[in-house]
């Protein structure tokens, strides 16, 4: 089968398209013919060895996919060849076939495209776990979303709107902000050209926001935290800017702010009941058509490296997809 391979730690430009043996479905596994794979920011970190869990080369990058079941391993029930499924793996999705644990996949609802299914899982789960369980967002809350036009950011905009929150979306261009407005954000801020703290305060009549979701980090984190209301919640989700911010703890003390981290890889094990509840609610909304990912760019398998670079350079609007015919 064809697969994108990382042969040594490096950059997306070092990736190669090559032929490798097609995997088989082992006990408890499904073999899936991949039709679409989504690009996520951690894909870049895996290539450099900078992710929390290092994967030694050679390996096939890509964590999120959708396609059809072609073989069922021993002990697996409830799936059959031809079933449309979506799932995630640590690495391995940028290939024509992937062997995956059956427990790590879900059926794709009728009427939902495989591209949308591939784009949905990781970013929407991350955003919903952060909003629903970590920040405790409900109807009437005001939520600031940083990096609001990216994969996690735009998912957070969609879901906060679905939860009845008032959304302040912050991004770095007019095009990105227009997309956020189209997805339901009530206020938009260009944080490269406007004063983020002042604009949030103005949009909340000086009170401040109830919560901030930050998948970006860097220089945007502190002014957003300063714009929280008393008792507000700041949720850090990642550092797409490439910089991990330092927060003056006196700001947390003086305003009674709660700062939380949410990482999808460990949320399932650390908070299994909340994860099960949130996942069920999320899939219900997705199947009902209440939420759907925005796919802003598509690349063929041979250009998966360019797709990763596109995301790493923060050029993505919504999700970026690698397509496999």
Contact in structure between 168 and 144 (CB atoms under 8 Å):
yes
Q: For residues 208 and 231, give the distance between their C-alpha atoms in angstroms, rounded to a whole number.
A: 10
Hey, which CATH number is domain 123-267, 3.90.1150.10, 3.40.50.720, 3.30.70.20, 3.40.50.1000? 3.40.50.720
Q: For residues 155 and 183, give the distance between their C-alpha atoms in angstroms, rounded to a whole number.
A: 9
Residue 319's DSSP bridge partners are: 295
Domain with CATH 3.40.50.720 in the chain: 123-267
Nearest alpha carbon to residue 153 among 173, 139, 138, 309: 173
Residue 314 has what pLDDT? 86
Dihedral over alpha carbons 104, 107, 111, 117 (to 10 degrees)? 0
Structure-block tokens of residue 59: 């390996």
Q: For residues 243 and 105, give the distance between their C-alpha atoms in angstroms, rounded to a whole number.
A: 33
Reduced to 3 states (helix: H, G, I; strand: E, B; else coil), residue 306 is helix
pTM of the predicted structure, to 2 decimals: 0.90
Domain with CATH 3.90.180.10 in the chain: 2-108+294-323
Please give the CATH number for the structural domain made up of 2-108+294-323.
3.90.180.10
Q: What is the pLDDT along the chain (325 residues), one digit of tens a residue?
A: 999 999 999 999 999 999 999 999 999 999 999 999 999 989 999 999 988 888 999 999 999 999 999 999 999 999 999 999 999 999 999 999 999 999 999 999 998 999 999 999 899 999 999 999 999 999 999 999 999 999 999 999 999 999 999 999 999 999 999 999 999 999 999 999 999 999 999 999 999 999 999 999 999 999 999 999 999 999 999 998 889 999 899 999 999 999 999 998 899 999 999 999 999 999 999 989 899 999 999 999 999 999 999 999 989 999 999 999 8
Angle (nearest 5°) at CA 212 between 64 and 153:
30
Residue 202 has what pLDDT? 98
Which one-letter DSSP state was computed for residue 299? E
CA 187 from centre of chain = 22
Dihedral over alpha carbons 284, 124, 310, 320 (to 10 degrees)? -10
Residue 14 has what pLDDT? 96
Q: For residues 279 and 268, give the distance between their C-alpha atoms in angstroms, rounded to a whole number.
A: 10
């Amino acid at each position: 089968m064809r697969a994108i391979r990382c042969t040594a730690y490096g950059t997306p430009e070092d990736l190669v398209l090559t032929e490798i043996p097609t995997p088989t479905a082992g006990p408890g596994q499904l073999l899936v013919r991949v039709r679409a794979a989504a690009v996520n920011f951690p894909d870049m970190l895996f290539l450099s060895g900078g992710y929390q869990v290092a994967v030694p080369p050679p390996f096939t990058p890509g964590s999120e996919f959708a396609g059809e079941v072609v073989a069922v391993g021993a002990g697996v029930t409830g799936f059959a060849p031809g079933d449309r499924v979506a799932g995630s793996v640590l690495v391995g999705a940028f290939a024509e076939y992937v062997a995956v644990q059956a427990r790590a996949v879900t059926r794709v609802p009728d009427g939902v495209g495989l591209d949308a299914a591939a784009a949905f899982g990781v970013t929407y789960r991350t955003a919903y776990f952060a909003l629903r369980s970590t920040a405790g967002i409900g109807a009437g809350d005001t939520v600031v979303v940083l990096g609001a036009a990216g994969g996690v950011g735009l998912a957070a905009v969609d879901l906060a709107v679905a939860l009845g929150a008032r959304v302040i979306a912050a991004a770095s261009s007019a095009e990105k902000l227009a997309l956020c407005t189209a997805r339901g954000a009530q206020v938009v801020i260009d944080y490269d050209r406007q004063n983020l703290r002042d604009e949030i305060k103005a949009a909340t009549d000086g009170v401040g926001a109830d919560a901030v979701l930050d998948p970006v980090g860097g220089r945007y984190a502190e002014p957003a935290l300063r714009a929280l209301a008393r008792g507000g919640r700041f949720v850090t989700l990642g550092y797409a800017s490439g910089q991990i911010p330092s927060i003056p703890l006196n700001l947390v003390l003086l305003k009674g702010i709660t700062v939380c981290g949410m990482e999808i890889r460990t949320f399932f094990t650390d908070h299994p009941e909340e994860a099960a509840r949130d996942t069920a609610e999320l899939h219900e909304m997705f199947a009902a058509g209440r939420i759907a990912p925005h796919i802003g760019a598509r690349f063929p398998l041979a250009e998966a490296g360019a797709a990763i670079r596109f995301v790493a350079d923060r050029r993505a609007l919504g999700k970026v997809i690698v397509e496999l015919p």
